[in-house]
Amino acid sequence: MKQMPTGFPKNFLWGGAIAANQAEGAYDEGGKGLCVADILKVQDKGSLKKKSNKEATTESIEFALKDKEGYYPKRYGIDFYHTYKEDLKLLAGTGMNSFRTSINWARIFPNGDDETPNEEGLQFYDDLFDEMHKNGMEPLVTLSHYEMPLNIALKYNGWYSRETIDMFVRYAKTVFERYRDKVKYWITVNQINLIHHESFNHLGIPADRVENLWEAKFQGIHNECTACALATKIGHEINPDFQIGMMVYDGLSEPLTCKPEDVFANMKRNQMEYFFSDLLIRGEYPGYAIRFFNEKGFNLDIRLDDEKVLKENTADFLAISYYYTICSSAESMKSYGVNEDGALMNPHLDASEWGWAIDPLGLRTVLNYYYDRYQKPIIIAENGFGTFDKVEEDGTIHDSRRIMYLREHVKALKEAIKDGVEVIGYYPWGPIDIVSCSSSEMSKRYGFIYVDLDDYGKGTGKRIKKDSYDWYKRVIESNGENLE
């Protein structure tokens, strides 16, 4: 009988993950064009459960472009564009053997529809990947992580337009060819199922340009998935050793109660969470999704050639971001499909200051769900605990809650591997503090390394190791055996 693993494999990828738009800054340097993230302003103080604009309109975009008073943190990030050598060296001190980042699409094709790529942008990532290798880090690179050139949103309505397919494929081909010998692991789109909370930031569809925004989102997803399949085909032709994956955020839910109505409603909700990975891993439209579209009256432009390329070019692995778990009920699902996701808080779980339920066991649960469904290698591309950090008078930062969160999740990950789930990598989110995706603030911190900047970019920018830095170092040194 086959023997189950007893712990993490020897070649396990211990990494950390950031996104170009949240870290690099230098929004107007090196020939870069504006991307969709560059128009997101820091949210006013108040509720901790702040979100960036779920939707944007032509008017709000034009306001941001003219605004001289508001602060737009993702234009500046943590200045990683200039500090990446020092930052990577510091991160490498934990022993991490891999690092996830994204290529800012607008740094390569500033307008998206440019005839030729921006050489200065290409050279920056040449240098960045070289520096990763110098520090013993295998790059894991995301092609699209909320960095669509803003011009594509304004001129073409983002992923709603089939023209964006060709622009993305040209971009992917350009970077695949350029970095064919420097990058092996690729993710086509970050959290491709995140269309409720990051609609414009993800799909680039101005809400005032379409008659039915929900229908437009799913048309955008179809176009985006088709582009991912085409890019996967080209990538494998350029380098057969490429591992090209697709990524979801874990949006699976559990029924709020065991009432049959809640169980059934939750099952239907989870089907539409699996839809994105079903399309890119199984390669075809499932019956439940077709029924969903028909019942909603959605008329999507899905062509036979699209279906063929989806079927023939499925993803090599599944990447997942995991932060928290949720529930749903028959009642909550009444709003699903009208820009709500039907999610409820689990009453049995504690939560972070931002309302994210803490559920380490849930990680083991969903890993088994996903692996049972797909039988594909899995990478945990994000996992982390956003909270406030305090610099003590002696310069130390004691982030015990973060250590506790990560410790319990690594334990759950190890148990999932012992269950037989093929997990090949773990990438805590934001190993160095970066601008928050959801609220564009710095005070929601995830890192092992503190960056001395506030929500409005004020501070020295100094990097300071937190207690979690040494903890993660011990975890990696022991290949996941020492979690204390």
In the chain, the domains with their CATH numbers are 13-477 (3.20.20.80)
Band (pLDDT 50/70/90 cuts) for residue 339 is low
Residue 55 is predicted with a pLDDT of 79
Average pLDDT over all residues of the chain? 95
Identify the band that residue 164 occupies on the pLDDT scale cut at 50, 70 and 90.
very high
Whether 336 shows a pLDDT value over 90: the answer reads: no
The pLDDT of residue 205: 96
The residue whose two tokens read 């200039």 is: 82
Q: What percent of the chain has pLDDT over 90?
A: 90
**Quick one: tokens of 138?**
């295998």
Q: What is the mean pLDDT of residues 434-439?
A: 90
Average pLDDT over residues 212-240: 97
Q: Is the separation of the CB atoms in 168 and 178 below 8 Å?
A: no
Over residues 419-430, the mean pLDDT reads: 98
Tens digits of residue pLDDT in 356-404: 889 999 999 999 999 999 999 999 999 999 999 999 999 999 999 999 9
Instruction: Look at residue 45 in the predicted model and tell me its pLDDT.
Output: 52
User: Is the predicted pLDDT of residue 289 greater than 70, yes or no?
Assistant: yes
**pTM flag (> 0.85):** yes
Cα distance between residue 36 and residue 93, in whole Å: 33
Q: Once rounded to an integer, what is the mean pLDDT over residues 78-101? A: 98
Nearest residue to 379 (alpha-carbon basis) of 238, 229, 184 = 184
Mean pLDDT of 223-228: 98
Note the pLDDT of residue 48. Answer: 47
Q: Over 60: is that where the pLDDT of 419 sits?
A: yes
Mean pLDDT (whole number) for 261-268: 97
Tell which phi-psi region holds residue 132, choosing left (phi > 0), alpha (psi between -120 and 50) or beta. alpha
Residues contacting 373, CB < 8 A, separation 6+: 274, 277
pLDDT of residue 198: 74
HSE of 126, CA atoms in CB hemisphere, 13 A: 10
pLDDT > 90? residue 46: no
- What is the rounded average pLDDT of the residues 297-302? 96
Q: Which are the contacts of 40, defined by CB distance < 8 A and separation ≥ 6?
A: 52, 53, 64, 72, 73, 74, 201, 440
pLDDT band at 47 (very low <50, low <70, confident <90, very high): very low
Query: What stretch of H or E contains 414?
Result: helix 400-418
Instruction: Please give the pLDDT value at position 44.
Output: 58
What mean pLDDT comes out for the span 114-140? 98
**Pure H helices in 50-158:** 58-66, 80-92, 105-108, 119-134, 150-156
pLDDT band at 42 (very low <50, low <70, confident <90, very high): confident
d(CA 282, CA 293): 19
User: Which residues are within 8 A (CB) of 239 and not within 5 positions of it... i.e. 6 or more apart?
Assistant: 176, 180, 181
Percent of the chain with pLDDT over 70: 97
Q: What is the pLDDT of residues 448-478, one digit of tens each?
A: 999 999 999 999 999 999 999 999 999 999 9
Residues forming a β-bridge with 426: 14, 380
The residue among 1 and 86 whose pLDDT is bigger is: 86
